[in-house]
Chains A and B, each alone.
Chain A
Amino acid sequence: MELSAILFYVFTLLTLGSAAYMVFSKNIVNAAFALIFSLSGVAALYVLLYADFIAATQILVYVGGILILILFGIMLTTLDFTENLKTVTVNMLPASLLSGAVAVLLLYVFLSAEWTTIVPADRDGTMYDLGMMLMNEYLLPFQIAGVLLLVAIIGALLMSTRHKNEP
């Protein structure tokens, strides 16, 4: 087996394992920390797929940003960590059945479909090409993303502002 194949399985294990831990964990903070590893694993898979920029972006945005935000959110909204840390999971059984079914369905589709694949070529970095694309075909989405983020800022701030003047 090639090294990259082994690594693929290692990272798959990391991703899925921590994702599973996250889903089944009772403690929400632990779940958030587990999510870090899951997302890092995904980033590693991106690298294996020759998407280095996306991989680094994944780490930067998810680990450095979203997860910190989620952790802050947890610490902000959980009243009593000793009890509410354990999040209620009532309809666990039907839910697992349902998502299991979805998984089986998806797997079936993916396995049975005939994908027209090309022989992957080794690429040496995607930065330059990405930049070029961003400035040409994706110029509009680029600007739209800017507007979107602006809206996101304003929206998020509007919403998280307290109604009253708090200290």
Chain B
Amino acid sequence: MGLLDKKYHDSNIIIVSLESALNWARKSSLWYEQFGLACCAIEMMATAASHYDFDRFGIIPRSSPRQADVMIVAGTVTMKMASRIERLYEQMSEPRYVISMGSCSNSGGPYWEHGYHVLKGVDKVIPVDVYVPGCPPRPEALLEGFLTLQKKIENESIIESKPSDKITEEADRHETT
């Protein structure tokens, strides 16, 4: 329906300046979905706590995915959890972003070889925007991940399409079959 659906194919001054304003708003108010999976979640909590303070960047937790903008996959995603992660991601309202925090969600991490029940990288089920390495990443590293994401959002264009369209179609197919 709207601008973010790329319905308006002209990039005049208004759209461009509107675009930068919108990008600014999106990047300055990244509300993350409050859930943690494993050890990394503890560091995520530490990042939200007083010492590092997510709120400085305007990042606050929301426990309902409907109101969240970014999903921090903090920890090991297991096979049992994979479909839930996918559902939670889908239930977020767009525009949405995913930060993969820590080795486990990047690629299975320490469990990539023998972990029969571990999903080898969360990007197998949902599209990831930023990978933050570490096991667990230091809180600063997570903050830096957010800064990286902000950079990405800054350069986003309303006219261009986002990669998440693909998964959306996929999910559609998923449900109907």
Direct contact of A and B (CB under 8 A): no
B residues with a Cβ closer than 8 A to A are none
